[in-house]
Chains A and B, each alone.
Chain A
């Protein structure tokens, strides 16, 4: 019985928080680290987005997409419709996506994102 009472008393003593006069300063330091973390995360995401955009843009330009679109918009009537259908069939349908440079770049970007996610999880765990 005395042992149980002592355990209760010990729990109470542990629950008594020691007074520390710098609670506001401590809270500010945590907030600063939170803000820094978000800034770093935003920078990282923004940087990856920019890099992805540049790579994607380069691939689109290099693949002649703009030129094809330009040709399609300059043609009239049935010619335009035919070209649009042709463009969709040739460029957007799944079977029109063989393993080419674009696919490889997109796969690489997805893999990089997955690795970054895994690293952040590992860092959080350890």
Chain B
């Protein structure tokens, strides 16, 4: 895989995907360079440590390479790979038989640090670390990987209602931690979105 060239660096993701589909590994390398950090970052936010996040991100890109013809361009390439990576992470959890017990646990594992720092603004990574594991996983699946509640429930093999309640509680906690006392105005949201 050669280093990024100006031509490849300026190419649109869809062009690179098309080149990859014809066997262009160099084009795929450019896609990895562009989106690798985002995929690894999502996995870390979901709870994977650095090494595991890197391994799973590699697996996700390998899977994406093998299934590249399945990518229809309906969403972004990054979102597509993130979904693959998130599902791989969940699959790993399920294989280790942790998910079921974790999802049934009420608020076990809640970080007290998250509660203690609720009077100051923190960033998303810190706020996620303060969530109980089930809420963190569900919020990341739905807002980080873009899965619907139904898709997240299927991936987790958990009841839809359980996933919805984890997401809701997780959002409530995140809102309090990310911006205590702050209202997210439509204008700000539009400007940021």
Instruction: Assess whether B1 is interfacial by the CB under 8 Å rule.
Output: yes
Q: Once the chains bind, are A26 and B192 in contact (CB under 8 Å)?
A: no
Question: Binding site of A, secondary structure by majority: helix, strand, loop or mixed?
Answer: helix
Instruction: Assess whether A88 is interfacial by the CB under 8 Å rule.
Output: no
Q: Once the chains bind, are B38 and A17 in contact (CB under 8 Å)?
A: yes
Instruction: Assess whether A27 is interfacial by the CB under 8 Å rule.
Output: yes
CB distance from B4 to the nearest CB of A (A): 8
Q: Once the chains bind, are B62 and A30 in contact (CB under 8 Å)?
A: yes
Instruction: Assess whether A8 is interfacial by the CB under 8 Å rule.
Output: yes
Instruction: Assess whether A23 is interfacial by the CB under 8 Å rule.
Output: yes
Number of interface residues of A (CB under 8 A): 32
CB distance from A23 to the nearest CB of B (A): 5
Q: Which stretch from B10-18, B104-112, B130-138, B179-187 is at the chain A interface?
A: B179-187
CB distance from B50 to the nearest CB of A (A): 10
Q: Once the chains bind, are B186 and A1 in contact (CB under 8 Å)?
A: yes
CB distance from B81 to the nearest CB of A (A): 11
A27-B33, A31-B29 given; name 4 further pairs at CB < 8 Å. A1-B186, A18-B125, A20-B36, A124-B63
Q: List 19 A-B contacts (CB under 8 A).
A: A5-B184, A5-B188, A6-B184, A9-B184, A9-B188, A10-B139, A10-B143, A13-B124, A14-B140, A16-B124, A17-B37, A17-B38, A20-B41, A23-B33, A24-B3, A26-B54, A26-B58, A27-B32, A30-B58
Interface residues of A (CB under 8 A from B): 1-3, 5-20, 23-24, 26-31, 33-34, 37, 124, 126
